[in-house]
Structure 1
Amino acid sequence: MEYRKLGTSDLEVSVITFGAWAAGGWMWGGTERSEAIEAIRVSYDYGVTSIDTAPIYGQGSSEEIVGEAIKGLPRDKVQILTKFGMRWDLVKGDFGFKSFDNSGKPIDIYKYAAKESIIRECEDSLKRLGTDYIDLYQIHWPDSTTPIEETMETVAQLIKEGKVRQAAVCNYSATQMKEAEKYISLASNQVPYSMVKRGIEKEVVPYCLENQKSILAYSPLERGLLTGKMLPGHSFQEGDHRASLPFFKDENLRRINDFLSKIKPLADEKNASLGQLVLRWTIEQPGITIALTGARNAAQAIQNAKASEVKLSKDEIALISQHLSQLTLAL
């Protein structure tokens, strides 16, 4: 496994980080708790020491699963990345969207990051995770109803109290990052980035490179789209949010798989899966520090972890990028 520092902080994380959204089941058609726990533990055995979760994932269940999975592991060898600022139990802040919890009950999601809410969320996360500190504490989404100053000063307070090691953001623009930096030193920004979703290259990547901030790429396999395992006519489980996404239309699946077939010979040459090749390409892109990948079972976890062993030359990266430039999607 390869490890990289986040920004200018002393926090070092594995380039393949375990993304625990799917492990919480919410919006992924459910999950098997014991398999999710095993996936995290097996990941650790393969060098994946960093785990990214959030309270909203399964409304607490993802953090509980992570907490159970890391029991018995040396705490200083594990990096817990969690978040705050999305409430399903409070009607305050920016309305996000309507959803259903894992039991099928309707819930309304709000983006809210005021002081009292962050302090409460931090305490709840610490309990669920079974730890007394969080390595990286990230605001999940911008909240237009709370000044960034109030949010960041609250996180700074938590750092002083020893409950948080480093501050970070998710889904922030370069302008929002610049504002947040007036009040706290940010280690990173967690944003969506994949071969087919590269919007951050315009402003966020240049800002982070210039200011020595790390980028944590989430959904680098575009929720399974770039693994080559999804064929036209794919049927999703009930409650799986991917069923409604344009990426997964049959026409796009055909186009994506055509692109993947062009880079498969290189994957075969490297004795790697398509997913592993895609992950390696992702963490070789300018400004991208780590890739967050989810796994619901041990086999998937091992596949993801081994992506760090794939090596690509500059010419091979360029070849993949050349094929990618010819891909257009119907979105």
Structure 2
Amino acid sequence: MTPEGPLPRRSLGDLAVSAQGLGCMGMSEFRGPVDDHESIRAVHRALDLGVVMLDTADIYGSGHNERLVGWAIRGRRDQVVLSTKVGIIRTADPRERLLCGQRDHIRRGCEESLRRLGVDHIDIYYQHRLDPATPVEETMQAMAELVADGKIRHVGLSEASAADIRRAHAVHPVTAVQSEWSLFTRGIEADVVPTCRELGVGLVASSPLARGLLSDRIREVDQLTRSDDRRSNPRFAAGNFERNMRLVAALREFAASRQLSVCQLALAWVQHRGEDVVPIPGAECRRHVDENVHAVDVDLSADELRQVELLCPAEAVVGHRLDARRARMLDPAVVL
């Protein structure tokens, strides 16, 4: 890879993308104070380095993130594989989220996203969370209509079960499934990953740095601002955080032996899960973009991958990956 030039390509279904994408969520909220100008510079830096896939959603910043990404890609739309999401509704209660997969909501949400982004089509349109009150077949039929209308090019699902992926794919081809996947979070490996590979569906790894735990930039919870929602995440809770940091410390020593940061080692591990896997680490500044992108060139041997997994076994990670509200969106019966 040249300092500025194309990254290696990977395939999500029949869609070619860069081997790493950019998650834009933190540029609008959830991670403390933001700077729109630096966020736009970070997007530009990612594009300059060959990152083509940008990931946003209609609820990030209540539409702010889509507008921000739209501003950032003006004049460069042809360089971007643009993905956004629909299906979660915010209410006046900042703690409340509703799910909706109904046809009219999907179609209306797409129109609103196109307007905020300032584009005439979306490359990957994800159902952000499946709505248990709406058959996935209805949701996918709406997506298929949007494809036929030329408003979206590919359909994606986010945090879907293996069974729902099969049901959805039977209605219209699913190009990509986006789910949390990192050294700290490996739950999709049992069912979702094999199902996607059987069906030829690509895998987009969200939170590949475990919400910053694997970035090695957070050594104390007090580094997080009061508005940072990771303060409510069980993995950052007192006692859990310290135990999880011991795993990071073990990875730090191994990474140093390879002249890597923990962040680069963790991203390289995800990239080695398969040629159909594309991580989308978040970055709110150019420095973090640079560090993330350099992980694309890291080659880990089979023995090194085994060593990394021995240093950081998934069962040793303490705390649920989601806070109670988000966990119940996926499973109403979850108890934390």
Q: TM-score, normalised by structure 1?
A: 0.89
Q: After TM superposition, which residue ranges in structure 1, 4 or more long, deviate above 3 angstroms?
A: none
1:93 aligns with none
* Superposition pairs of residues 78-227 of structure 1, within 5 angstroms: 78-88=80-90, 98-99=93-94, 108-227=96-215
Are residues 1:39 and 2:8 paired? no
1:15 to 19, 43, 63: 19
Query: Displacement, 1:291?
Result: 0.7
Measure the CA separation in 2 of the matches of 1:251 and 1:232.
Answer: 12
Query: Displacement, 1:321?
Result: 1.2
% same residue: 33
Larger strand percent: 1
CA deviations 1:154-200 (Å, max 9, x no partner) are: 11111111111111100110000111112100011111111111111
Determine if contact 2:270/2:277 at 8 Å carries over to the other structure.
no
Query: Displacement, 1:238?
Result: 2.2
**What runs of 5+ residues in structure 1 fail to find an aligned partner?**
91-97, 101-107
Are residues 1:297 and 2:301 paired? no
Q: Count residues with an aligned counterpart.
A: 313
Larger helix percent: 2
Q: Greater shift after overlay, 252-261 or 242-251?
A: 252-261
Determine if contact 1:232/1:249 at 8 Å carries over to the other structure.
no
**What runs of 5+ residues in structure 2 fail to find an aligned partner?**
1-6, 320-336
2:267 to 244, 268, 279: 279
1:277 is paired with a residue of what secondary structure?
Answer: helix
Determine if contact 2:26/2:283 at 8 Å carries over to the other structure.
yes
2:217 is paired with a residue of what secondary structure?
Answer: coil
Instruction: Tell me which amino acid in the other structure corresponds to 2:56.
Output: T
Determine if contact 1:16/1:290 at 8 Å carries over to the other structure.
yes
Determine if contact 1:282/1:288 at 8 Å carries over to the other structure.
no
Q: TM-score, normalised by structure 2?
A: 0.88
Indicate the RMSD between aligned Cα atoms, in angstroms. 1.9
Measure the CA separation in 2 of the matches of 1:291 and 1:265.
Answer: 23
Determine if contact 2:271/2:296 at 8 Å carries over to the other structure.
no
Query: Displacement, 1:289?
Result: 0.7
Instruction: Tell me which amino acid in the other structure corresponds to 1:48.
Output: V
Query: Displacement, 1:288?
Result: 5.8
Are residues 1:306 and 2:294 paired? yes
